[in-house]
Amino acid sequence: MYYYNSPMGLLKLCADEDSLLGVWFNEDKIYGSVEHIDSPAANKHIADTVRWLDEYFRGNTPSFTPELKLHGSEFRKIVSRIMLEIPCGELCTYSEIASEAARRLGKERMSAQAVGGAVGANEFSIIVPCHRVVGKDGKLTGYAGGMEKKIYLLHHEGVDFKKHNLR
């Protein structure tokens, strides 16, 4: 576990030897039993994540995604993969993700509410960009780090709130 000092406060980064396990604002969330490290250089996946976050907070779109260990059911993993495809500064709705998840799973339809549960269970704050997911009417919905962090991230990415009728 490594603490990254972001413009939004401390982020907790957890990794093992194979991949990144999570990035959280919430101090209560810990994936498994992990040791605290003082330097990101002690773990390749932490080092990659720090490099990614540094690029992102400098206002650039990182050219890579750290190696992630996606958690949960196949549905949750598919929702995470779909979120990873949302370009920086753009938005997607729960219903759009539900349609794409249904297509990938070979189903006729999927519930936007089920997608909401999967989005809410995201273990990789900022990197898997659940902050880019909004209600179909432009309504900003919850964010694990708090609504002020979601708004900060969307502004940081240059999202035009008026154009998207966000509220």
Task: Decide: pTM greater than 0.85.
Answer: yes
Indicate if 88 belongs to the active site.
no
pLDDT tens digits for range 91-110: 999 999 999 999 999 999 99
| List of domains in the chain | 2-58 (no CATH), 74-157 (1.10.10.10)
Radius of gyration of the chain (CA): 16
> CB-based burial of residue 109 (10 Å sphere; 0-12 exposed, 13-18 middle, 19+ buried)?
exposed
Percent of the chain with pLDDT strictly greater than 90? 75
| pLDDT, position 31 | 53
* Residue 22 three-state SS: strand
Which segments of the chain are extended strands (E)?
2-6, 9-15, 20-24, 92-93, 133-134
pLDDT tens digits for range 23-51: 998 655 555 556 678 788 889 999 999 99
The one catalytic residue among 14, 88, 92, 130: 130
CB 80 within 8 A of CB 122: yes
